[in-house]
Structure 1
Amino acid sequence: MKFGTKKAFINGKIYTSNEKNPWAKSVVTLGNRILFVGSDTNAAMFIDSKTEVFDLQKKLMLPGFIDSHLHFMEGGFSLMNIDLSNICSKKEFQGAVKTYINTKRPKWVVGGNWDHQKFDEKNLPNKEWIDSITGNIPVFVTRCDLHMGLANSKALELAGINKNTPNPEGGVIEKDRITLELTGILKDNAMQKVFEIIPVPSEAECFEALVLAMREANKNGITSVHDVVYPKDYTVYQEYMKRNKLSCRINLIRPINDLENFTKLKIQHSFGSEYLRMGTLKAFADGSLGSGTAWLFEPYVDDIENYGLPMDIITDGRLRKWAVEADHCKLQLMIHAIGDRAISEILDIYEEVIDKNPAWDRRLRLEHVQHIRKEDIYRMKKLDVIASVQPYHLCIDGTWCEKKIGKERLSGTYAFKSLIDTGIKVSFGSDWSAGDLNPMKGIYAAVARRVDGMKFLESWIPGEKISVEEAVKCYTINAAYTSFEEDLKGSIEMGKFADLVIISDNIFEIEPEQIKEVHIEHTIFDGKIVYSR
């Protein structure tokens, strides 16, 4: 415990995420830990002349939100790079690129976050849209799901990609079906050649990205994140921890091909401090539905020869081998699987992991779980696999999902209630910058299931709606469990970290439609107020 200022938050409506004591009126903190949770009367016994007292005025307090799946540093960089998230036409796309080049004078144009499903003609962008605008400035801008990107001719040239370049395993180099010329669209592993030649950000740029990311997290009441990191990120995170400048706790997740380094150093899950931890490895089984690369048992309705794209580490057997070895070394596994075939294949691998290795509290994770067969929900429960999902994606995907997979296959889409009712531990995240970071929008999506453009009060697959209480737990105590930290955070209990959030409206009492408009009033991290509206 860090001893320091004592703070008392009284006269509130405090939801604790603690099943034994779900509601309270007061919380007292000492330094970075919670000292007391209970009534105003009993809280008075902990208050003295040196205590900072905050009258919550009946406002709702919750545990600090934990985002269990995002790209934190990349999210910070997204705030520095070109933003195409609101683009709705070819003309707007061209205009945004031109304006960015004229104002920023960049050596490279990166970022993006575009979504062709928002475009008036729903067509993928083409390098011909921007070649005349960009000239010799290379451009690579990714789709909002990060599984597809658009490269201009200069970027393709620098990456050594031409119309004769074969598709890599687990990737697609898109070509015009008539002319066979490159369109500039690269999917999944095909993007790697471009990523390899994009200049590595400077240390100063990395620090700027972290500051922006932490500021955005605190504004949204987020006090912990699970971030997929790159080697350059370690230096930045460590330096900010030494300077006592971190304003959220970071679980550092590495790609599974880094397994050898972890095993050489004998690192296991949950290695680190209360601010920085590691010991989780991530892999990809497939791509995304929006990019047509989620791996399915049946073909896409809008592309009947396409079943999606399994990653090369699935098809060549490396993932199976790595997974067994990582688990044997007590490293946590988290595997991206969106399509029903991908989910099933990963559950097969998890079965083998459990069968071959000694029992331990392994907490296997399945990321996204967007389209799942009923029988695989039962398999997840049997194997005790955590579903790490991103609810706000459904508000976007719901506008076009049926066109991709057909009405009959929607029953297993974003099946939150089915997962929870089966007894599966579900944790929430945002997938930022591929999704909206705001947990209020995530809770709204899970509770209301309203799709962008849908008629008022109409819900998409309403049978999968969950309660506000269930959604809050997914963003707090369940997310803490996902990273082996339920004894440290995720609920408002004596002895846990003083990571708290005070919000503008009581989301347990207002209409579901209003939740997405709720604001964070204050964010308390490590016992200190790091954001006030």
Structure 2
Amino acid sequence: MKLIIILFSVVLAGNSCSNDPKVAIENIETSTQRLYCNAKIFTVDEANPWAEAILIDGNKILFVGSDTEAEKIADNNAIKVDLQGKLILPGFHDVHMHPMEVGSTTTAFVLDEEDTNAENYIPVIRKASKDNPNVEWLIGFGHSINTLFNAKRNPLDIIDEAVSDRPVIIMEQTSHSMWINSKGLALAGITVDSPNPQGGIIMKEGKNLLGILIDNAGDVAFQQAVTSLNDAEGEYDGMVSYVLPELVKHGITSVCDARTYWKRAQHKIWKDLAADNKLTARFNLGLWAYPTEDDATQIASLKRLFSNNENSLLKINQIKLYSDGITHNTTAALHQNYKEDIFGLPTNNGLNYFTQERISKYIRELETVGFDFHIHAIGNRGVTEALNAIEESGTTEGRHRLTHVEIVEATDMNRFAQLNVTADVQVAGDFTQPAYWHDNDYLLGTELADNQIPIKSLKEAGARITLSSDWNVSSLNPFVGIQNAVTRSPQNISLEEAIKAYTINGAYVMRQEDKVGSLKKGKLADFIVVDQNIFNVSVNQINSTKVVLTVFDGEEIYRRR
């Protein structure tokens, strides 16, 4: 496994844990034992929460405790690394991100999310088309759907004016809608008479298409566009050249891919990365459950893809599906109606990618194989129905989690603990902070918009909480999420709980809490060293913390300059 970045001026190696500045890193690979000492170690082990030293042999932890005791246990020739009082934490777990999508080279251009005039995008799209003459579909990213909603003319006319001779599709910055031109609509087989697909909406005004595909309607077309590019090599290269280095830089040693498009053979790219010894973290894949697929056929296919080799860094043991959409385009599933009606459908309380009945069916069929479920649920009805489905499935072996959980009914708080369902939340994005809760008052009403992502209430109700990034929706940096989690009063948690949410709790949902997630004898050596003690600095300085050393499976794979 390669060392990603070589220089790290603070870590010193020698024959003792002294502060002798003359000692340099050399011959560091001559012993199987390595002693990291003179440190502040938050172990996330309730029996031994704080320590000074950690002794490893190969990829295993032999001892965690005092410097004195560690010296007694260590071999005479053990490499000793003096950390000069630096803080050690277990390696971070990010159990909801989209690494292969982030690293993909399919996006040819990016629109400015802050631009409120859709007409301004015409020259940008035209230039992208000129710069990419040989791609079958021109793919973009980044606009706000509100910019299209507020356009003075039909958004389809605007994008057609930009490019009309080949298909163009642009993913909105939340990924929950697509802007598509007439050529793209035709290739996707979408006409004004096309019915809305499960979990999606084809926006129309009278007998005119608007070129906006909401939620799964857009995803179906987008997958067609991406498949046409046949970019497996680009996805592989993006992982190696960008994504994996970013993970180690931020101390992330375990990851859940929150949407593996198996029909595009992304799982095979992951297997190639593992076979080529490129992985620098432990990965669990969440196979995407396609809402429009026949259930029996899809369930049979998913069963065949299950893989849970304990000795592999790559496991295919999770299912990702959506209960509902998102709030700001009124597709998150609510128990009540939205205050505004955007789509003019028979109901105005959100939509379902998967109904409660279907979710329950998938859990019953796939949990017995060994799959755990990762269920997107944002609205209060989406949360209730997902919890109901888990309860109705009648199974007991799963380690399921609901992700986002932005709006939760008081009557559902206790059910997370009762059903052993983890609440996976993302608070790294500014939009999740209390100052922004009431931006959606016009859709939700003041009362419902208040108290979003209620992590304190969930914790007090006994729920297990994980913090994750949903990268690249929000910052990958775990210290941004940790700072926001402890400062977002009235829905905040303690610093210790925030760290647990990024470590041992994440290890639990990945079924590896016996191996990693805390630092104790017998576990694998996944840990990080950081440049400041986040227990001593102001809570508003936590997000400035930098990882200076990442140790993964006993190897130093990243050192900061």
Superposed pair shares fold, TM > 0.5: yes
In 1, Cα distance between the equivalents of 2:39 and 2:106?
35
| 1:121–1:254 distance in 2 versus 1, CA, 3 Å | same
- 2:441 corresponds to 1:405: no
In 2, Cα distance between the equivalents of 1:190 and 1:208?
29
Q: Which amino acid aligns with 2:261?
A: Y
Aligned to 1:34: 61
Alpha-carbon distance, 1:209 to partner: 2.2
Aligned to 2:245: 215
Please tell me whether the aligned partners of residues 333 and 352 of structure 2 are also in contact (alpha carbons under 8 angstroms): no
| 1:530–1:404 distance in 2 versus 1, CA, 3 Å | farther
Alpha-carbon distance, 1:342 to partner: 1.0
Aligned to 1:115: 144
Pick aligned residue for 1:252 from 266, 285, 291: 285
Counterparts of residues 170-319 of structure 1 (less than 5 Å) = 170-176=199-205, 180-191=207-218, 192-198=220-226, 199-211=228-240, 212-227=242-257, 228-231=259-262, 232-256=265-289, 258-263=298-303, 267=306, 270-303=308-341, 307-314=348-355, 317-319=357-359
Aligned to 2:512: 485
In 2, Cα distance between the equivalents of 1:392 and 1:409?
21
Q: Equivalent pairs: percent with the same residue?
A: 33
| 1:330–1:235 distance in 2 versus 1, CA, 3 Å | closer
Please tell me whether the aligned partners of residues 113 and 434 of structure 1 are also in contact (alpha carbons under 8 angstroms): no
| 1:447–1:352 distance in 2 versus 1, CA, 3 Å | same
Alpha-carbon distance, 1:330 to partner: 4.1
In 2, Cα distance between the equivalents of 1:386 and 1:136?
48
Please tell me whether the aligned partners of residues 41 and 52 of structure 2 are also in contact (alpha carbons under 8 angstroms): yes
Aligned to 1:459: none
In 2, Cα distance between the equivalents of 1:498 and 1:94?
52
In 2, Cα distance between the equivalents of 1:323 and 1:241?
28
In 2, Cα distance between the equivalents of 1:531 and 1:79?
28
Pick aligned residue for 1:428 from 454, 467, 471: 467
Please tell me whether the aligned partners of residues 332 and 378 of structure 2 are also in contact (alpha carbons under 8 angstroms): yes
Alpha-carbon distance, 1:264 to partner: 5.6
In 1, Cα distance between the equivalents of 2:151 and 2:43?
44
Aligned to 1:167: 196
Secondary structure of the corresponding residue to residue 230 of structure 2: coil
Aligned to 2:366: 326
In 2, Cα distance between the equivalents of 1:282 and 1:153?
31
Pick aligned residue for 1:505 from 526, 532, 536: 532
In 2, Cα distance between the equivalents of 1:110 and 1:40?
56
| 1:124–1:367 distance in 2 versus 1, CA, 3 Å | farther
| 1:82–1:49 distance in 2 versus 1, CA, 3 Å | farther
Alpha-carbon distance, 1:350 to partner: 1.6
Pick aligned residue for 2:115 from 73, 88, 108: 88
Aligned to 1:365: 401
In 2, Cα distance between the equivalents of 1:168 and 1:275?
37
Q: For each residue in 1:136-187, what CA deviation from the matched residue of structure 2 results, as whole angstroms up to 9, or x when unmatched?
A: 34222222332212112222222122323222232111124xx642222111
Please tell me whether the aligned partners of residues 116 and 125 of structure 1 are also in contact (alpha carbons under 8 angstroms): no
Q: In terms of mean alpha carbon deviation, does 483-492 or 190-199 score higher?
A: 190-199
Alpha-carbon distance, 1:325 to partner: 2.1
Please tell me whether the aligned partners of residues 336 and 349 of structure 2 are also in contact (alpha carbons under 8 angstroms): no
| 1:6–1:280 distance in 2 versus 1, CA, 3 Å | same
Q: In terms of mean alpha carbon deviation, does 124-133 or 484-493 score higher?
A: 124-133
Aligned to 1:336: 376
Aligned to 1:383: 419
In 2, Cα distance between the equivalents of 1:143 and 1:503?
35
Please tell me whether the aligned partners of residues 32 and 527 of structure 1 are also in contact (alpha carbons under 8 angstroms): yes
Secondary structure of the corresponding residue to residue 8 of structure 1: strand
Alpha-carbon distance, 1:504 to partner: 2.2
Secondary structure of the corresponding residue to residue 93 of structure 2: strand
Alpha-carbon distance, 1:329 to partner: 3.9
| 1:87–1:105 distance in 2 versus 1, CA, 3 Å | farther
| 1:101–1:264 distance in 2 versus 1, CA, 3 Å | closer
| 1:203–1:168 distance in 2 versus 1, CA, 3 Å | closer
In 1, Cα distance between the equivalents of 2:548 and 2:231?
34
Q: Which amino acid aligns with 2:188?
A: A
Q: TM-score, normalised by structure 2?
A: 0.83
Alpha-carbon distance, 1:58 to partner: 1.8
| 1:401–1:519 distance in 2 versus 1, CA, 3 Å | farther
| 1:197–1:510 distance in 2 versus 1, CA, 3 Å | same
| 1:166–1:19 distance in 2 versus 1, CA, 3 Å | same
| 1:53–1:78 distance in 2 versus 1, CA, 3 Å | farther
Aligned to 2:182: 153
Aligned to 2:477: 438
In 2, Cα distance between the equivalents of 1:314 and 1:4?
56
| 1:76–1:312 distance in 2 versus 1, CA, 3 Å | closer
Q: TM-score, normalised by structure 1?
A: 0.87
Q: For each residue in 1:445-500, what CA deviation from the matched residue of structure 2 results, as whole angstroms up to 9, or x when unmatched?
A: 21122xxxxxxxxxxxx221111111111000000011221101111112212111
Please tell me whether the aligned partners of residues 337 and 346 of structure 1 are also in contact (alpha carbons under 8 angstroms): yes
Please tell me whether the aligned partners of residues 286 and 374 of structure 2 are also in contact (alpha carbons under 8 angstroms): no
Alpha-carbon distance, 1:348 to partner: 1.6
Please tell me whether the aligned partners of residues 106 and 139 of structure 2 are also in contact (alpha carbons under 8 angstroms): no
Alpha-carbon distance, 1:99 to partner: 4.7
In 1, Cα distance between the equivalents of 2:522 and 2:111?
44
Q: For each residue in 1:374-412, what CA deviation from the matched residue of structure 2 results, as whole angstroms up to 9, or x when unmatched?
A: 101122222221112212246357262333312211344
Q: In terms of mean alpha carbon deviation, does 42-51 or 166-175 score higher?
A: 42-51
Which consecutive unaligned segments of at least 5 residues does structure 2 have? 1-29, 290-294
Q: In terms of mean alpha carbon deviation, does 523-532 or 93-102 score higher?
A: 93-102
Q: In terms of mean alpha carbon deviation, does 125-134 or 35-44 score higher?
A: 125-134
Q: Which amino acid aligns with 2:243?
A: A
| 1:64–1:345 distance in 2 versus 1, CA, 3 Å | same
Q: In terms of mean alpha carbon deviation, does 471-480 or 429-438 score higher?
A: 429-438
Please tell me whether the aligned partners of residues 29 and 498 of structure 1 are also in contact (alpha carbons under 8 angstroms): yes
Aligned to 1:143: 172
| 1:167–1:262 distance in 2 versus 1, CA, 3 Å | closer
Q: Which amino acid aligns with 1:242?
A: A
| 1:362–1:27 distance in 2 versus 1, CA, 3 Å | same
In 2, Cα distance between the equivalents of 1:519 and 1:102?
41
Alpha-carbon distance, 1:285 to partner: 0.9
In 2, Cα distance between the equivalents of 1:92 and 1:47?
65
